Structure 1
Amino acid sequence: MRLFSTNKTSPSVGIEEAIFQGLPPDNGLYLPDEIPVLPETFWETCESLSFQDIAFVIANAFFKEEIPAEDLEGLIQKSMDFDAPSVKIGDDLYCLELFHGPSMAFKDFGARFMAAVMSYFLEKKNRKVHILVATSGDTGGAVAQGFFGQSNIDVHILYPSGKVSDIQEKQLTTLGENVKAIEVDGTFDDCQKLVKTAFLDEELRSKLNLASANSINIARLIPQAFYFVYTYSRLKEKHFPIVFSVPSGNFGNLSAGVIAHKMGMPVHRFIAATNVNKVVPEYLKTGVYESIEPSVSTISNAMDVGNPSNFPRLKALFGDKFEDLSAAISGYSFTDEETKQGILEVKNMYDYVVCPHTAIAYLGLNKYLENTKERVSSVFLSTAHYAKFLPDVEAVIGAGLPVPERLEELLDKEKVALSMKPDYSLFRAYLDDLI
């Protein structure tokens, strides 16, 4: 399989090279020349397959030329050892729970699969890499858990000071060993800019053998397609068109859903649900893209992205045609006050507790359903466990809530992080000392 850059000035590469490069030299994003389409027989019988079976079929469509089937099956079994259930909470209304992995966020799917694949390639060639990743919240914890203890891989996670929850911060600052945290005095966009600039620094990149674990990396997106297809397989017998509402910040999750759709998965509509960092919903209304810099801080902090990295990839998946993209995706944005009302509504109507990001997905779905009379299977994605945002959720609900033991244990651990200004010269000097 060959992958091209969305900026279209870098040469195409194989999937292994794309994974370790992260970004093409022209600062675009990698996408396959052609999205593989799964045969009709798969879609007709997928309800009989397990999550791991479906994950293997999708992964094999991308990696069959690089990883033997038996090895790939082993990587799937090792990395995808948790569930992605669609919980029915109302009539034709389902919450896709993506928080059953080790960090209790959807990014466990991408981070664990990517770590397994990277380690596989590195061990075969006896190579070492340095992972740089920026996080607005859950990416850091998932990457930290996914790559912790992996041989031949060192990880540096950059996060904005004071803009992640206490539990999120503890998840990425308490592991140690091959996982280091850098607390940046700025926004997520500042963190992301530092990482991107480092990847475009050819001298540094070659000396440290840099790789990325952000959603800019194609290895993060492919496994996120697993749970879209798995959800379809469990709901297809309802015989209603499926609508997915995706809480969106950097737009990797929605891009993965579109990849699943391009592989043949029937979807009636995607909903891009955001907080007040509403770059893409505005684009879907006007056809004009205007980034928000700096990004605006909200209680749905993992979505506080003013210039979504995956947006060029999302456009490229539709051939850079606004008409095609807007025909498949509706966009809605919500304030913090509306988000709080969403949390309360879900609790009062369905006795179900959601995090702020999940509440935004729920609100986006409701907004779409207000304008359609067609009966659909409605799915809103729950991207993180509510306990990761406990103070905000408890304040809205007005009651204490139980915390999973694995998260509660983190609160007593000591944070270890290097403080840094959002200055690339300082970041470069720090990285130089690693050489």
Structure 2
Amino acid sequence: MKLYSTNNHNLAVDLETAVFNSLPADKGLYMPNVLPKLDDAVIAGWDKKSLQEIAFDLAYALLKDDISAQDLRAIINDAANFDAPLVPLQDDTYILELFHGPSLAFKDFGGRFMSRIMAHFLKKEQKEIRILVATSGDTGGAVALGFLDVPGIKVTILYPKGKVSPIQELQLTTNGNNIEAIAVDGTFDDCQALVKKAFHDPELNEKFNLTSANSINISRLIPQMFYYANSYARLKNDYEDIIFVTPSGNFGNIAAGIMAYKMGLPVKRFIAATNSNDIVPQYLTSGNYQPRPSVQTLANAMDVGDPSNFVRIMDMFGKDLDALKQMVGAYAYNDEQIKTAISEVYNRKKYVLCPHTATGYLAVKDIKADDEQNKDKAAYVILSTAHPCKFPDVFGELGINYEEPEQVKALYQKEKQVKQMGKSFEEFKAFLINE
């Protein structure tokens, strides 16, 4: 597979270069030169295949020139060794539970797949790799567990101090070994800016082989296609259409779904559900894209004021806003609406939505109100991105109980190892050089 930059379609690099470099020098994002269309017969047979078999069909179509079928199957079977069940919520609405991996968040799919892809290439190259990752909550935990004790790789995770949940912070800071955590006195956008500046700093790139495990890295997006396709396979015989509703912060998750659609996955529409950081919903309404500093919300993993992956989405639609709006919609909700939705679903169904998933539930209600003609034809799939246990303060306030997973109980016994830092790039650079 060859990849180009969203800022330069004439660029052509191989998969290994894109995985380890993360960002092109022109500050665009890597995208596959071609998103190959899968045969209709392959897609038609997915209802008889497992998630891992469907994942192989998608990944092999993209990566067959870079990784052998045998190695790719082994990577997928090891990385995606947990389920992503569809749970019926009401008649035509399903919750796609993506929190059954080790860090209890959807980002386990991307983090585990990426770590194994890198390990595959490292066997050949014997490189020493330094991974820098910014997190607003769940990415860091998934990356930490995905890369823990992987030979030849050291991971530095930056997170906004005081703006992640207690469980998320424990997942970031209790690993040790090749994983280090830095609490930045700022927002997620400040953390992301530090990472991006580091990738473009000549002195740091001379000293380290830098790469990222954020969704800016193409190897994070590829495995996130898997559960969209698997959901379609489970529902395709019962519904004419499927509408995916994706809680969205940095817009990598929904970008992966759109990649699967471009490869032939039959989808009627994608809906991005956001919190008060509503840059994309505003853009789809006004046509004016205006990034701004992020604000803190209950759905903290979506507290992003300048979503990096939105440029990939625009690239896939040829930067044509009208074409984008035909396939992608977006809604935004504030904290009070999120809490009301959580309480409503718990009282009615005894099902616990995390704050991110609650934005998806609210979006489905609005979609149905706006689209009566498709009411009986479509299945609505809400991507549930994190286990409720990551947000104890929210559910304590609402008086909602949930069962805490065993791996979370074990975290309380571990000691946090974290460094404190301001948002100055000079301070961050000096830390990396001198540690």
TM range (shorter): over 0.9
C-alpha separation between the residues in 1 aligned to 2:117 and 2:150?
11
What is the one-letter code of the residue matched to 2:387? H
1:352 alignment counterpart: 351
2:421 alignment counterpart: 420
| Deviations 1:250-273 (CA, angstroms, capped at 9, x unpaired) | 000000010010010111111110
The equivalent residue for 1:404 is 405
Contact kept in structure 2, 1:10 and 1:24, CA below 8 Å: no
- What number of residue pairs does the alignment pair up? 432
Where does residue 342 of structure 2 map in the other structure?
343
Q: Work out the CA distance in 2 between the residues paired with 1:63 and 1:399.
A: 44
- Per-residue deviation at 1:34? 1.4
Output one character per residue of 1:98-118: Cα deviation in whole Å (capped at 9) or x when no partner. 000000000000000000000
**Matched position secondary structure for 1:150:** coil
- C-alpha spacing 1:7/1:50, structure 2 compared with 1 (3 Å): same
Unaligned runs of 5+ in 2: none
**Where in structure 2 are the equivalents of 1:193-342 lying within 5 Å?**
193-293=193-293, 295-342=294-341
Correspondence list, 1:17-56, <5 A: 17-56=17-56
Q: What amino acid sits opposite 1:37 in the alignment? A: K
Amino acid in the other structure paired with 2:264? G
Go from structure 1 to structure 2 and tell me whether the alpha carbon gap of 1:34 and 1:332 turns closer, same or farther (over 3 Å shift).
same
Q: 8 Å contact 2:85–2:97 — kept in the other structure?
A: yes
Larger mean Cα displacement after TM superposition, 205-214 or 244-253: 205-214
CA deviation map 1:313-357 (0-9, x unaligned):
110011111011111111100000000011011112222101100
How much does 1:56 deviate?
A: 0.9
Deviation at residue 10 of structure 1 after TM alignment: 7.3
Tell me what 1:171 maps to. Answer: 171
Counterpart of 1:331 in structure 2: which amino acid? Answer: A
Asked if the contact 2:130–2:154 (Cα under 8 Å) also holds between the matched residues in 1, the reply is yes
Letter of the aligned partner of 1:340 in structure 2? K
* Normalised TM-score (structure 1): 0.98
Give the secondary-structure state (helix, strand or coil) at the position aligned to 1:265: coil
For 2:206 and 2:61, locate their aligned partners in 1 and report how far apart those are by CA, in whole Å. Answer: 30
Distance in 1 of aligned mates of 2:150 and 2:10: 31
Query: 2:394 matched to 1:395?
Result: no
- Match of residue 182 from structure 2: 182
1:73 deviates by: 0.7
The aligned runs of 1:74-223 (5 Å cut-off) are 74-223=74-223
Instruction: Report SS of the residue matched to 2:237.
Output: helix
Secondary structure at the aligned position of 2:211 is classed as: strand
User: AA paired with 2:202?
Assistant: E
Moved over 3 A (4+): none
Deviating more after overlay: 30-39 vs 398-407: 398-407
Q: Aligned AA for 1:36? A: P
3-state SS, counterpart of residue 95 of structure 1 = strand
Q: Is the 8 A contact 1:105 1:142 kept in 2?
A: yes
Shift of 1:65: 0.7
Q: In structure 1, the residue corresponding to 2:8 is in which secondary structure?
A: coil
Give the direction of change, closer, same or farther, for the CA distance of 1:47–1:234 in structure 2 (3 Å limit). same
Contact 2:395–2:401 (8 Å) recurs in 1: no
Aligned match of 2:367:
368
Q: 1:151 is aligned with what amino acid?
A: P
Normalization by structure 2: what TM-score?
0.98
Return the letter of the residue paired with 1:176: G
**Structure 1 position 9, deviation (Å):** 7.3
* 1:33-85 Cα shifts (integer Å, max 9, x gaps): 11111111111111001011011111111211111111111111111100111
Which residue pairs with 1:433 in the alignment?
434
Alpha-carbon deviation of 1:418? 0.7
Shift of 1:239: 2.8
Secondary structure, counterpart of 2:370 in structure 1: coil
Structure 1 CA distance for aligned equivalents of residues 66 and 310 of structure 2: 28
Structure 1 residue identity aligned to 2:35: I
Q: Which amino acid aligns with 1:60?
A: Y
Q: Structure 1 residues 392 and 345 mapped into 2: Cα distance closer, same or farther (>3 Å)?
A: same
Distance 2:225 2:400 in 1: 36
Matched letter for residue 434 of structure 2: D
Rounded Cα–Cα distance in structure 2 between residues aligned with 1:191 and 1:205: 18
Show CA shifts across 1:110-150 (max 9, x none).
Answer: 00000000001011111110000000000000000000010
TM superposition shift of 1:401 = 2.8
CA deviations on 1:367-412 (whole Å, 9 max, x unpaired) are 111111212101101000001112202322x143321111122123
Q: Is the 8 A contact 1:86 1:95 kept in 2?
A: yes
Instruction: Check conservation: 1:215, 1:221, Cα contact below 8 A.
Output: yes
Unaligned segments of structure 1, at least 5 residues: none
Secondary structure (helix, strand or coil) at the match of 2:96 reads strand
Question: Identity over the aligned pairs, expressed in percent?
Answer: 51
Q: Is the 8 A contact 1:279 1:290 kept in 2?
A: yes
Say whether 1:382 aligns with 2:381: no
Secondary structure of the residue aligned to 1:12 is strand
3-state SS of the aligned residue for 1:237? coil
The one-letter code sitting in structure 1 at the alignment partner of 2:88 is: K
Q: Secondary structure in 2 aligned to 1:238?
A: coil
CA RMSD of aligned residues (A): 1.0
